Structure 1
Amino acid sequence: MLATLVVLALLLALPWLLPQFLPANQAQFWTANILGRAIVFGIIAMSLTFLATYGGFISLAQMMVAGVAGYTLAIFVDGALPRIVGGWGYAAAIPLSLVAATVMGLVVGAISVRTRDIYLLMITLALAMGVFRFIETNIAWFNGYEGIRNVVGPTLFGLDFRNAFVFYHVALGTAAALFLGILYLVKTPFGLVLQGIRDNPRRVAALGYSVGLHRIAAFGVAGFIAGCGGVLSTIYNIGISPGSIGLGATVNILIMSVVGGLGHPAGAFIGSLIFTVFDTFAATIYDRDRFNTLIGLVFLVIVLVSPDGAIGIGAKLRRLLGAGRNHPRGAEGSRASQQQAGEETTP
């Protein structure tokens, strides 16, 4: 917990530290377009990581669930173009969007509750692509291919939500609250039962718990988390279109989660930061048109070195450093220890 608080304090201070090392325009670019965007994607990826880490199942519908929140916000909020329903303030439209995402998460969980492994992946992917095609071809409610734009976000205490510092800190505060909420939730009876289902669902069922209801509820929690990311993503992009929830976006969320590591919710943010950096600087590093090749190579290298992603690499480094501290003198220390042991056993 102490390490988490230290990292959060550093992230809070980062927008003020960056101008000390970078020009003002570059510092603002990093604050909003790199760090802010990585946090937003990380929230959506964390919904997938939550299900994988504590439930033992991977859903490919999380980007679609985030899109449901984004489209709900765009449809109802005042000022969006074209006007579908409109007339709602952000204070009412944002909670409605989160409710819609939670309900969609519950629906996905109810449909896929009896599936496992590859079958769960395929049915959640099918649901995601079905919603994507429905939105893409519906003009009346979703404006088809063009989507809905001019979702600029609310004004907070007289400050423009589009301001890089305001958006960054709102996104960071949301991510921190959700992250700490997950860490608390997994220690509650619900979280412990969910982890028991991950390890041995039959034994949990024999103890009298409803495996199906807990799985559906977990999808509902993940839907709420993804919805928070979907709202922030829609405001960041000043709107939403079907491409935001298409196959490419769905796969990107999976890549972020795997690259960061599925063993801990923090892996989602590490993976999203790695992905965002390569996505932003692909043209400089290699070739913009070859971004998928570049991120694919990074994905393969990280997974081959550590199947647990960047989190696993960090754990290996800690073990190596710990082993080095335990044996600071290397071979000489080992020989000295053996000699001392021999002297102690000599009569």
Structure 2
Amino acid sequence: MKKTSPSLRWVMLAALALAPLVLPVFWLQNILAKAAVFGIVALSLSFLNTYGGMVSMAQMAVAGLAAYAMAYTSINGSGLGVPLPWPLALLAALTVGTVFGALTGWIAARTRGVYLLMLTLAIGMGVFAFAQQNNELFNAFDGINGVAAPTLGHLKLNAPIPLYGLSVGLACLLLALVNYVVRTPFGLALQGLRDSDRRLAALGYQVTLHKVAAFALAGFIASVGGVLMLWYQGQIAPGSVGLAAATNILVIAVLGGLRRPAGAFAGALVFVLLQTFATDLFYRDRYNTLIGAVFLLVVLFLPTGVLGLTDLVPRLRRAIQTRKAGEQSSSIPSFNKTKNQETNENVPQNRL
């Protein structure tokens, strides 16, 4: 897998740390924080695809169930649920998302390729239909509104700067977690599963168990994104886990680059920028056309995603160095005769 260079990584971290000092609140809350939230959910999909070779369309459903669990155990304007102290509510939400992710992996463990994609999509649409029709738990079509975000002292976590710091900080931690996990024996076995699950089974590994564990970890990551999404929006509705939402996560992952986990956040930033300023660039009714056109251009001309643009500078540098080396070698005078040729000429030839 391709990795981001350390120098670029430090530059990006410094830019994110200095952003609250130079950017207005609108950009912190509606662009960067929102991109971090979407990027976390897309990271769960990118992790499964990059290292496990599995494309799951149920990640937004996992995030939505975690958000519903958090809303149900928090004080909300819909009057549903049983309010708990927010640390317990957060633990319950993450547990629900992780367990549902593991359950999805167990159901889909015996499939692969397009069959796994379609099965996870069916699971996601089942969650959407159940949330839309259930009135006691999910408040049906209206969803759960007016969810109160936790407070730390006098600091509300859904305020623009705290939400930005929390979202970006958790995004960095989860990305570091993924990069650590893939270097562990479990991560190496997962990559072996991606290459050939039959060979992995022949070596004595439990293929189904590894798939379930991978889906559980991806479910935990998506659950974090779902809770942040709830705090950002202040409500959760069935539309947040519908087909359009699930497709958007796949589009974000492909835009950023499926071969790099960090590409999920690059794709999310591009997606949020288009979503926010599409009315200024294009007709409001043709927003999906714009997203589709950008997606098509990226797939055709940037197979590694927008994060692949960072490879252009090293490639250009290597091309310049190669050209200079070629020019220097061509400027060295060449001799017509090699040492072996001169030696052969001094040897008398046999005559017939």
The Cα of 1:266 is off from its aligned counterpart by 0.5
Q: Could you say which structure has the larger radius of gyration?
A: 2
Q: Is the 1:263–1:311 contact (alpha carbons within 8 Å) kept by the matching residues of 2?
A: no
Aligned to 1:54: 51
Change (3 A) 1:344 1:170: farther
Q: 2-side partners of 1:102 and 1:156: how far apart?
A: 25
Q: For 1:141, what is the secondary structure of its paired residue?
A: coil
Q: Is the 1:132–1:246 contact (alpha carbons within 8 Å) kept by the matching residues of 2?
A: yes
Aligned to 2:266: 270
Aligned to 2:130: 134
2:220 pairs with 1:224: yes
Question: Which is further off, 146-155 or 180-189?
Answer: 146-155
2:342 pairs with 1:337: no
The one-letter code matched in structure 2 to 1:260 is G
Q: How does 1:43-122 map to 2 (within 5 A)?
A: 43-77=40-74, 79-122=75-118
Q: Which runs of 4+ in 1 moved over 6 A?
A: none
Aligned to 1:38: 35
2:21 pairs with 1:16: yes
The one-letter code matched in structure 1 to 2:49 is A
The one-letter code matched in structure 2 to 1:116 is R
Q: Is the 1:76–1:88 contact (alpha carbons within 8 Å) kept by the matching residues of 2?
A: yes
2:285 pairs with 1:289: yes
Q: TM-score, normalised by structure 1?
A: 0.92
Q: For 2:334, what is the secondary structure of its paired residue?
A: helix
| CA displacement, residues 180-230 of structure 1 (integer Å, 9 cap, x when unaligned) | 011111001100100111112222111111111101100000000000000
Q: For 2:81, what is the secondary structure of its paired residue?
A: coil
Q: Is the 1:152–1:161 contact (alpha carbons within 8 Å) kept by the matching residues of 2?
A: no
The Cα of 1:84 is off from its aligned counterpart by 1.9
Aligned to 1:143: 139
Q: Is the 2:25–2:160 contact (alpha carbons within 8 Å) kept by the matching residues of 1?
A: yes
Q: For 1:119, what is the secondary structure of its paired residue?
A: helix
The Cα of 1:2 is off from its aligned counterpart by 5.1
Q: 1-side partners of 2:117 and 2:333: how far apart?
A: 56
Q: 1-side partners of 2:203 and 2:64: how far apart?
A: 37
The Cα of 1:322 is off from its aligned counterpart by 2.4
The Cα of 1:343 is off from its aligned counterpart by 4.7
The Cα of 1:315 is off from its aligned counterpart by 2.5
Q: 1-side partners of 2:64 and 2:83: how far apart?
A: 21
Q: TM-score, normalised by structure 2?
A: 0.91
Identity %: 46
2:174 pairs with 1:182: no
The Cα of 1:311 is off from its aligned counterpart by 2.6
Given candidates 235, 242, 252, the residue that maps to 1:256 is: 252
2:301 pairs with 1:305: yes
Q: Is the 1:75–1:83 contact (alpha carbons within 8 Å) kept by the matching residues of 2?
A: no
Change (3 A) 1:317 1:4: closer
Q: 2-side partners of 1:345 and 1:239: how far apart?
A: 82
Q: Is the 2:98–2:216 contact (alpha carbons within 8 Å) kept by the matching residues of 1?
A: yes
The one-letter code matched in structure 2 to 1:33 is N
The Cα of 1:171 is off from its aligned counterpart by 0.5
Q: 2-side partners of 1:345 and 1:145: how far apart?
A: 87
Q: 2-side partners of 1:316 and 1:278: how far apart?
A: 23
Q: Is the 2:72–2:83 contact (alpha carbons within 8 Å) kept by the matching residues of 1?
A: no
Question: Which is further off, 154-163 or 117-126?
Answer: 154-163
Q: 2-side partners of 1:172 and 1:338: how far apart?
A: 52
Q: For 2:332, what is the secondary structure of its paired residue?
A: helix
Question: Which is further off, 272-281 or 311-320?
Answer: 311-320
Q: Is the 1:54–1:186 contact (alpha carbons within 8 Å) kept by the matching residues of 2?
A: yes
Q: 1-side partners of 2:233 and 2:277: how far apart?
A: 19
The one-letter code matched in structure 1 to 2:19 is L
The one-letter code matched in structure 2 to 1:151 is V
The Cα of 1:8 is off from its aligned counterpart by 1.8
The Cα of 1:6 is off from its aligned counterpart by 3.5
Q: 2-side partners of 1:335 and 1:8: how far apart?
A: 39
Q: 2-side partners of 1:187 and 1:264: how far apart?
A: 14
The one-letter code matched in structure 2 to 1:14 is A
Question: Which is further off, 100-109 or 193-202?
Answer: 193-202
The Cα of 1:346 is off from its aligned counterpart by 5.4
Uncovered stretches (5+) of structure 1, i.e. residues with no partner: 19-26
Aligned to 1:24: none
The Cα of 1:85 is off from its aligned counterpart by 1.8
2:197 pairs with 1:201: yes
The one-letter code matched in structure 2 to 1:99 is T
Change (3 A) 1:261 1:112: same
